Amino acid sequence: MSSRIDHHHLPINGQILPQPCSHLVDFRSRNGANPFRALQDCLRVKPPGGHASIRREPNEVPRCGMCGESGGLTRLYACVACAAVHCHAPPGTSHAAVHGESMSPGHEIAVDVDRAELFCCACRDQVYDRDFDAAVVLAQTAASTLHAPSSIVRSPHPENLRKRRRVDYRPWTPDPRERVLMGSCSSPLNATVLDSCSRDFPAGLRGLNNLGNTCFMNSVLQALLHTPPLRNYFLSDRHNRYYCQKKSTVVNNGSKSNAGNPTDSRICLACDMDAMFSAVFSGDRTPYSPAKFLYSWWQHAANLASYEQQDAHEFFISMLDGIHEKVEKDRRKTQSQGNGDCCVAHRVFSGILRSDVMCMACGFTSTTYDPCVDISLDLEPNQGGSAKMVSTKSNHSCNGEADHMNLSQNCGTSTLMGCLDRFTRPERLGSEQKFFCQQCQVRQESLKQMSIRKLPLVSCFHIKRFEHSSIRKMSRKVDRYLQFPFSLDMAPYLSSSILRSRFGNRYFPFDGDEPDASNKLSSEFELFAVVTHTGKLDAGHYVTYLRLSNQWYKCDDAWVTEVNESIVRAAQGYMMFYVQKVLYYKASEKRVVP
């Protein structure tokens, strides 16, 4: 990079900046290297990570120097040359423009005091300057990192903090320095093993031995081993088990005083995951025994440590917890789980649910946000006859998502979308669970509605197939068939859509309207793993179906076989794993060697 660049003609992110107006060019040439120096001290970022504004004093109330207007209905601009503040109310008066004309030349450029954006009073339009924008972004990031602890009080909304920029996928090739590093620090994979096995199966497909009723663990591990963001994390050495163990022994030696349980601090499920990823992607296809992992997990979840059958979903939650806890312990920081930036488990799986409870008497709504690592869904109650269900099964196997609406309504087939509709529909809280309304100051009947505030990278849906009846004092398993699509659009279940439909906006189909591209993309999901359960409540078997390069594989403990997708569609899903479509690289997973 050259040290000094021409500011206005360089493309940024593929966009060419518009030509600056003559007044801005004039202003820059008159004021030397840093024309906005004086403004930098006036930049205020109110809620950390929030919007930038311009104030000389933190609590200043800016007013128009001519009419005293304090910016209720108009915009206020501060002249960058003399700091005089004036109003600008487009079709009507513009004291800012008057100021620019009367003091001409040199007073045309002004800054919006509430938005910290540049404006040319002569052209009557927004102008853009890289140096100025850089200063604003710097102030914003400084504020958000400085006051990070205090921001926990506010409701989390990570999607607002930074704008997403899309980057094209480029395959990585090592540069000479990296090549040397790789040669000296690693051992090549056994080429003959790799060759003999890679012909039929994609990388990483390896059976897991049953270590005594551990199919609940194997089934979930198979799904996790092929969760794209997790796989990328571990295979790119982001959690190195050798380094992690070395680090934790140093910590232990340093603080011998609290070495009450020396083994406890050394358990690291992420290290065991790392070891498992290495083993599974080594090219060796003989079934692998995750014994070390099982042992570590037993130590983490002592109440589940036995050779009995366990619930796969319980295991999933417990092991994500284990990975999360270890990171917390290492950092010794109380970071809220909600922001999802704490550990790899939460970075991949955590989303935020929004729950609105509306008082039916006065309409007061209280909103809460809860982090979640999966979504547990109730099966829809059986509506139609089972004979109908069988007859429709064959014709929707071609396309599950297009006709889900009428299917779920017309016949008895439950669909995942139907479950999600139920999950997000307004639910009347009964008279026995009245909610205390802050406005009425009494308990009132209320309406509760769930929606998804932030989608995780990987959505795990857990179907509640175990039904507990308090009357009969017994539990049973619900064996009903649930249809699930291979591609799922989560947009209808997002808070924005749910609220939009509740508020009933007056108009929206504009001509030439294109939906926001980034939102659209991240709400589309692809199915990549299904954990199925066969058998009864207390005894049964878990099997996982994996989708790699658009081919389905059945992972039944040590046995991995190729299967037809119709078998997957007919299976009784217990947990479904969907990954954001942008992360599901179909092309890159294809075999390069013919």
Give the SS3 label for residue 483: strand
| Residue-wise DSSP of 59-96 | T-----TTT---SSSSEEEEETTT--EEEE-TTS-BHH
What are the angstrom distances between the C-alpha of 508 and each of 453, 512, 515, 537? 22, 11, 11, 49
Scanning 22-30, 33-41, 284-292, 512-520 for contacts with another protein by CB under 8 A, the matching segment is 512-520
CB of 351 to another protein, least distance (A): 16
Is there binding between residue 164 and another protein (CB under 8 A)? no
Residues 11, 14, 68, 430: which binds another protein (CB under 8 A)?
68
Of the candidates 181, 189, 184, the residue with the CA atom closest to the CA atom of residue 278: 189
CB of 335 to another protein, least distance (A): 22
Strand partners, 15: 12
Is there binding between residue 18 and another protein (CB under 8 A)? yes
Residues 168, 175, 432, 516: which binds another protein (CB under 8 A)?
516
What one-letter code names the amino acid at 377? L
Of the candidates 211, 234, 227, the residue with the CA atom closest to the CA atom of residue 297: 211
Give the SS3 label for residue 453: strand
Of the candidates 498, 500, 521, 522, the residue with the CA atom closest to the CA atom of residue 509: 500
Site string for another protein, 141-160 (x = CB under 8 A): ----------------x--x
Residues 9, 30, 37, 124: which binds another protein (CB under 8 A)?
124
Where helices occur in 350-503 by DSSP H, the ranges are 386-393, 404-410, 416-424, 495-503
Residues of this chain, 390-449, that bind another protein according to CB under 8 A: 439
Counting residues that bind another protein (by CB under 8 A) gives 41
Residues 364, 369, 435, 466: which binds another protein (CB under 8 A)?
364
Residues 11, 32, 72, 594: which binds another protein (CB under 8 A)?
72
Residues 469, 471, 505, 539: which binds another protein (CB under 8 A)?
505
Please give the structure tokens belonging to residue 512: 């030439």
| CA–CA gap between residue 76 and residue 222 (Å, rounded) | 59
CB of 47 to another protein, least distance (A): 6
Strand partners, 560: 555
Place of tokens 């092991």: 319
Neighbour-count burial of 72, counting CB atoms closer than 10 A to its CB (0-12 exposed, 13-18 middle, 19+ buried): exposed
Is there binding between residue 496 and another protein (CB under 8 A)? yes
What one-letter code names the amino acid at 303? N
Q: Please answer whether residues 232 and 579 qualify as being in contact, where contact means their C-beta atoms are separated by less than 8 angstroms.
A: no
CB of 334 to another protein, least distance (A): 25
Catalytic residues: 215, 541
CB of 371 to another protein, least distance (A): 18
Residue with Cβ nearer another protein (70 or 336):
70
Could you tell me which residues come within 8 angstroms of residue 484 by beta carbon, excluding any fewer than 6 positions away?
400, 415, 416, 527, 530, 569, 573, 576
CB of 514 to another protein, least distance (A): 7
Residue with Cβ nearer another protein (67 or 402):
67
Residue with Cβ nearer another protein (437 or 527):
437
CB of 24 to another protein, least distance (A): 14
E-assigned strands of 278-404?
Answer: 351-359, 365-372, 375-378
Scanning 117-125, 260-268, 461-469, 481-489 for contacts with another protein by CB under 8 A, the matching segment is 117-125
Residue with Cβ nearer another protein (18 or 105):
18
Residue with Cβ nearer another protein (90 or 260):
90
H-run or E-run covering 324: helix 312-331
Q: CA angle, 198 as apex, 193 and 202 as ends, to 5°?
A: 135
| CA–CA gap between residue 314 and residue 462 (Å, rounded) | 10
Of the candidates 216, 221, 199, 202, the residue with the CA atom closest to the CA atom of residue 276: 221
Residue with Cβ nearer another protein (398 or 442):
442
Is there binding between residue 499 and another protein (CB under 8 A)? yes
CB of 515 to another protein, least distance (A): 8
Residues 5, 12, 38, 125: which binds another protein (CB under 8 A)?
125
CB of 114 to another protein, least distance (A): 9
Residue with Cβ nearer another protein (16 or 182):
16
Site string for another protein, 21-60 (x = CB under 8 A): -------------------------xx--xx-------x-
What are the angstrom distances between the C-alpha of 505 and each of 189, 233, 517? 59, 42, 21
Residue with Cβ nearer another protein (275 or 499):
499
Is there binding between residue 216 and another protein (CB under 8 A)? no
Is there binding between residue 237 and another protein (CB under 8 A)? no
The residue ranges that bind another protein (CB under 8 A) are 18, 46-47, 50-51, 59, 61, 68, 70, 72, 90-91, 119, 123-126, 157, 160, 363-365, 439, 495-497, 499-500, 503-508, 510-516
